[in-house]
């Protein structure tokens, strides 16, 4: 896998040198349906709510523009990289509220014309795109009548992505990526660890009930960083049930904010002193051999 840094301009990198001591971060939880337009309205309303509460970085869930649609519907909704109504919505919303917006995931065109890329796009407070991450690990699961095979319609990515913000270094994974700790280890050098992991997700109720919180807390502990998990959470029009439980976890592995099911916003503080204290008292990142 390749490692990719931010796409943002030099101005954004300069801003990242002055890191905020305390910043507010928020996860949006949705129950998206199969039609893009109403989902964008819902996302816009919830982002505005987070912005009004002082959030400086907001994350949307996986497939926030549509979920539960047929494979054909998802392929039809694909956008070319850099152009399309969903990408315009993300850029305009980030600029309107003056915040960092981690755009969950959206369907983009793939190299294979029969597939799509499940892509997370990040926009800075000026509405400029700062990063793109394409989901690397594709979900496959079969239990009784419940079955998923993302590889049938999704073309996987191959680049690990992290980027700099005034809040610190941020790394991105999408949903099933959460189960692969080596992905998050690859996001930063030993001297420059990731301060925040953002995980847009649509965990199933079955796997989420068993493993969601466990895996999120493990990623926070082993990387001694904050984790911001934005999930789909409830019964979708298609009948699919997603686990929800969007949450913020601190570097000690404690859940500091959470929402169970339903649409809403979960917001918490990212405290740089907490990062420093955790990494100083238990310098596990410095003790790494491999």
Q: With beta carbons less than 8 A apart as the criterion, state whether 169 and 11 touch.
A: no
Q: What is the pLDDT of residue 98?
A: 98
Q: pLDDT confidence of 23, banded at 50, 70, 90?
A: very high
Please check whether residue 288 lies inside any domain of the structure: no
Which residues span the domain enclosing 258? Answer: 2-281
CATH code for the domain of 115:
3.60.110.10
The gap from C-alpha 238 to its chain's centroid, in whole angstroms, comes to 23
DSSP code, position 103: -
CB neighbour list of residue 280: distance below 8 Å, 6 or more residues apart: none
pLDDT class for 1, splitting at 50, 70, 90?
A: low
Catalytic residue of the set 62, 79, 150, 155: 62
**Is 198 within the bounds of a domain?**
yes
Structure tokens at 129: 């795109």
**Of residues 36, 44, 24, the one with CA closest to residue 63:** 36
pLDDT at 148 over 90: no
220, 253 Cβ separation under 8 angstroms? yes
Condensed to tens digits (0 to 9), the pLDDT of residues 72-123 reads 888 999 999 999 999 999 999 999 999 999 999 999 999 999 999 999 999 9
pTM as predicted:
0.92
- Is 178 among the domain residues? yes
Residue 166 lies in a domain: yes
Question: Which whole number is the average pLDDT over 48-57?
Answer: 98
Closest CA to 100 of 122, 79, 81, 69: 122
Where are the strands (E) in the chain, listed by range?
2-4, 22-29, 57-59, 100-102, 106-109, 116-123, 129-134, 140-143, 146-149, 159-165, 168-172, 196-201, 226-231, 246-249, 255-259, 264-271
Q: What is the pLDDT of residue 14?
A: 31
Whether 175 sits among the annotated catalytic residues: the reply is yes
Q: What SS3 state is found at 208?
A: helix
Q: Determine, yes or no, domain membership for 219.
A: yes
Q: Is residue 289 part of a domain?
A: no
Q: Between β-strands 168-172 and 196-201, what pairing exists: parallel, antiparallel or unpaired? A: parallel
Residue 93 phi, psi (nearest 5): -70, -40
Phi, then psi, of 70 in degrees rounded to 5: -75, 165
Q: What is the mean pLDDT of residues 28-54?
A: 97
Residue 259 has what pLDDT?
Answer: 97
Number of domains in the chain: 1
135 is catalytic: yes
Give which of 152, 169, 168 is closest to 160, Cα–Cα.
169
Q: Does the pLDDT value for residue 136 go beyond 80?
A: yes
Distance between CA atoms of 54 and 43, rounded to whole angstroms?
Answer: 17
Q: What percent of the chain has pLDDT over 70?
A: 93
Least confident of 17-26, 144-153, 191-200: 144-153
Task: Give the whole-angstrom CA distance, residue 180 versus residue 187.
Answer: 12
Q: Tell me which of 50-54, 58-62, 78-82, 191-195 is least confident.
A: 191-195
Among the options 155, 175, 261, 263, which is catalytic?
175
The catalytically annotated residue of 4, 115, 120, 135 is 135
Interatomic CA distance for residues 43 and 27, integer angstroms:
11
Would you say residue 39 lies in a domain? yes
pLDDT tens column, 208-253: 999 999 999 999 999 999 999 999 999 999 889 999 999 999 999 9
Instruction: For the chain, give the mean pLDDT.
Output: 92
Name the pLDDT band for 15 (thresholds 50, 70, 90).
very low
Q: How many CB atoms lie within 10 A of CB 153?
A: 18
Of 88, 65, 51, which Cα lies nearest the Cα of 265?
Answer: 51
Mean pLDDT across 159-170: 96
120 annotated active-site = no
Q: Is residue 251 included in any domain, yes or no? A: yes
Handedness of CA 76, 81, 85, 90 (dihedral sign): positive
């Amino acid at each position: 896998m390749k490692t990719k840094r931010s796409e943002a301009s030099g101005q954004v990198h300069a801003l990242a040198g002055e890191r905020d001591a305390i910043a507010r971060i928020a996860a949006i939880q949705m129950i998206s349906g199969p039609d893009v337009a109403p989902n964008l309205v819902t996302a816009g309303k919830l982002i505005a709510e987070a912005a009004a509460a002082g959030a400086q970085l907001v994350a949307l869930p996986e497939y926030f523009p549509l979920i539960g649609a047929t494979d054909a519907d998802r392929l039809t909704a694909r956008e070319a990289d850099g152009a399309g109504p969903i990408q315009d919505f993300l850029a305009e919303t980030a600029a309107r509220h003056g915040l960092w917006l981690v755009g969950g995931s959206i369907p983009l065109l793939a190299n294979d014309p029969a597939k799509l890329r499940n892509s997370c796009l990040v926009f800075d407070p000026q509405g400029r795109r700062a990063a793109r991450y394409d989901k690397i690990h594709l979900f496959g699961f079969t239990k009784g009548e419940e079955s998923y095979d993302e590889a049938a319609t999704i073309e996987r990515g191959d680049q690990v992505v992290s980027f700099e913000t005034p809040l610190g270094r941020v790394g991105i994974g999408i949903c099933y990526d959460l189960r692969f700790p080596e992905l998050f280890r690859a996001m930063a050098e030993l001297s420059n660890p990731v301060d925040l992991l953002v995980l847009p997700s649509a965990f199933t109720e079955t796997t989420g009930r068993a493993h969601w919180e466990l895996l999120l807390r493990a990623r926070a502990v082993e990387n001694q960083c904050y984790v911001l998990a934005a999930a789909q959470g409830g019964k979708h029009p298609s009948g699919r049930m997603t686990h929800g439980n969007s949450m913020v976890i601190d570097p000690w592995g404690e859940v500091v904010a959470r929402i169970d099911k339903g649409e809403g916003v979960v917001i918490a503080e990212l405290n740089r002193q907490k990062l420093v204290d955790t990494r100083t008292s238990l310098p596990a990142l410095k003790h790494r051999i491999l």
